Structure 1
Amino acid sequence: MATVIPLAEAVANLVHDGDSVALEGFTHLIPYAAGHEIIRQGRRDLTLIRMTPDLIYDQLVGMGCARRLVFSWGGNPGVGSLHRFRDAVQNHWPAPLEVEEHSHAGIANAYAAGASGLPFAVLRGYRGTDLPAHTATVKPITCPFTGEELTAVPAINPDVAIVHAQRADRHGNVQLWGITGVQKEAVLAARRSLVTVEEVVDELEPHPGAVTLPGWVITHVSEAPGGSHPSYSAGYSVRDNDFYQAWDAIARDRESFLAWMDEHVLTGEAARP
Structure 2
Amino acid sequence: MPEGHTLHRLARLHQRRLVGAPVRVSSPQGRFAAGAALVDGQQLIDAEAWGKHLLHRYESGRVVHVHLGLYGKFTESAVPMGEPVGQVRMRVVGGSGFGTDLRGPTACEVLSEPEVTALTERLGPDPLRPDADQDRAWQRIRRSRRAIGALLMDQRVIAGVGNVYRAELLFRHGVAPRRPGTALSASEWRDMWADLLVLMPVGVRVGKMVVVRPEHDHGAPSYAPDRPRTYVYRRQGQPCRVCGTPIAHAVLDARNLFWCPTCQPD
Please state which band the TM-score falls in when normalised by the shorter chain: under 0.3
Q: TM-score, normalised by structure 2?
A: 0.24
Higher RCO (CA < 8 A, seq sep 6+): 1
Bigger Rg over Cα: 2
